[in-house]
Chain A
């Protein structure tokens, strides 16, 4: 998705961050889904609520590969070994855009009254040979998928509606198979750590999308057992 962002704003963000020594590396996140038949309604509502209503949302068509790097602990079984994931994403619709390498930390649900999930998030633009580089480092690809959808902005908030596709056997972008009959909806905001006030802003926006889509804090630990 970063690939679809306006490169100027990315550079602006980077320079201003470097100047002030502030890195927006905390992602405030709420997630939900909307079934395909209601996706258009949500699309229209988001168009109305978000910035640049006249020009409409940006679309994206991305391919994400998820690499894992296992840090082996002595005597640990493979399951106990700690691993962390690195995500490489490229824009299929814009091959000229830089690729994106993303690290996502463990999502923290925090207190019950904390409005959003909080996770650390570091994005960096890179060149296509990042895949080779990661492989050389010993990373192995864990899974990959294709996303297709819309990106909306509302101030600092980012709303994405994305359809998730499994890569087919043929390994070509044509043989995509949708995971579910729903769009994944994510509402996120990147901010430097300690700016918890923005979480309420996100919560308020999420309330405006009810009951069309329920954006919630999703507990990843519970999803581990979910099949």
Chain B
């Protein structure tokens, strides 16, 4: 018996810890929403949500843990109700519950949803029950069909994307370094362009300038260089 009590204590302690974590995260998010709404970025907002969702998961894990006794088998039984303020209770609830009074206790210990929520749920349930079963079945079938279709399309698209990605990776060669060098050497230094006969079409100027060298001879380059240099000299003093 004692062992079970200890287990319960430990489980409650763990739950409390998780819930406090969760509360802190939610409070931080609310604080940021209220005070930093101007500078808050969507990704960081999502990050906060991710933290909360993770904490919810851990909380549920703790509840499902083998060592946690089945909480639904336990009953909370209020023994004494008192309208007088209770300091200890106030502290434990951070000032939300001042007294364990007749007014508040039923709300605190309720196991059903809020009356508002309950009412709305009832409305929905009523609406759902009004639909004739055949129509409901039809609608369910139609929805299933649509969802399956969408799912199929997504799967197909994913296959296509993956194929494309692999194809792209295989044919990644979009540039050749040797070509880069050839082109830049040609444009910058005239590599592989010089040996050709040089004359601009319809331009008398360059035609005259290359009067010296014999076209197509590689050895002509040096010869003309000397020639050109001696020509240059008088202008360049």
Q: Is the CB–CB distance between A141 and B182 below 8 Å?
A: no
Q: Is the CB–CB distance between B200 and A63 below 8 Å?
A: yes
Docked CA distance A34–B172 (Å)? 12
Decide: A138 near B176, CB < 8 A? Known: A144-B193, A144-B200, A223-B181: no
B179 in the interface (beta carbon within 8 A): yes
Q: Which of B116-171 contact A (CB under 8 A)?
A: none
Q: Is the CB–CB distance between A41 and B205 below 8 Å?
A: no
| Chain B nearest Cβ from A74, distance in angstroms | 10
Q: Which of A170-227 contact B (CB under 8 A)?
A: 171-173, 179-182, 184, 211-214, 216, 218, 220, 223-224, 226-227
| Chain B nearest Cβ from A218, distance in angstroms | 5
Residues of B within 8 A of A41 (CB): 174
Residues of B within 8 A of A79 (CB): 222
Docked CA distance A153–B184 (Å)? 21
Q: Is the CB–CB distance between B180 and A33 below 8 Å?
A: yes
Q: Is the CB–CB distance between A70 and B180 below 8 Å?
A: no
Q: Is the CB–CB distance between A166 and B209 below 8 Å?
A: no
Q: Which of B187-237 contact A (CB under 8 A)?
A: 187-194, 196-201, 203-206, 208-210, 222, 224-226, 228-229, 231-233, 235-236
Docked CA distance A204–B182 (Å)? 25
Docked CA distance A134–B199 (Å)? 14
Interface magnitude class on chain B: 35 or more
A32 in the interface (beta carbon within 8 A): yes
Residues of A within 8 A of B187 (CB): 145, 164, 184
Please count the residue pairs between chain A and chain B whose beta carbons lie under 8 angstroms apart in the complex: 158
Residues of B within 8 A of A100 (CB): none
Decide: A211 near B172, CB < 8 A? Known: A65-B206, A142-B194: yes
Can you name the residue of chain A whose Cβ is closest to the Cβ of B173? A35
A44 in the interface (beta carbon within 8 A): no
A12 in the interface (beta carbon within 8 A): no
B186 in the interface (beta carbon within 8 A): yes
Can you name the residue of chain A whose Cβ is closest to the Cβ of B188? A220
Q: Is the CB–CB distance between B205 and A135 below 8 Å?
A: yes
Known: A132-B204, A135-B209. 15 other contacts (CB 8 A): A31-B184, A34-B174, A79-B222, A138-B235, A143-B194, A144-B198, A145-B193, A167-B196, A179-B183, A181-B176, A184-B183, A184-B187, A214-B180, A223-B185, A223-B188
